[in-house]
Structure 1
Amino acid sequence: DASFLRLKNVVLGYTFPKKVLQKLSIQNLRVYLQAENLLTFTGYSGLDPEFTNASVGGGNGSDLRRGLDMGGWPTTKRFLFGVNFEF
């Protein structure tokens, strides 16, 4: 059973009020944090429940191996911090 629930992409951001930015001579300022592959809830014991091995073998029986987790890489978590501003 490779059923799962995944929190795939989340972005949290804050745009500073214009009143605060006028003192700094900035028109617009936004900071944000983006997270990818943050959480996965599953009973699957392999590396990734979305894993497919269909491309291995070129087509002769490759559909029979779909979903078999035979090595590979686990899904990585990624974090990105950003700042957008205008003068």
Structure 2
Amino acid sequence: MDDQLVDAGKLDIASLQRAKTVQGEAGESLNALVSKLGLVAERDLAEVLVHLLDCPLVRKEGFPTEALYPERFNASFLKGVGGAYPR
């Protein structure tokens, strides 16, 4: 994906080299690192992935605001596992 980020103009070669150096030390994925280091915005990463994977980008508005099928899920379970549950 690093080549695609450079080709899309989202990351320059020097920044890519910096991220690869840190990747060798940290052992994290390059995708996570370029975002964590502030070299590429998460939105830009998403746009490159959408193109690479040929899938749609789901925006915030694409998600329901209310829980779907709330009767199927136990509220205490969702709270216990850190799930999103309205208070």
Q: Please give the range of the TM-score, normalised by the shorter of the 2 chains.
A: under 0.3
Q: TM-score, normalised by structure 1?
A: 0.25
Q: Write 1 or 2 for the structure with the bigger share of strand.
A: 1
Structure number with the higher helix fraction is 2
Q: TM-score, normalised by structure 2?
A: 0.25
Higher relative contact order (CA 8 A, sep 6+): 1
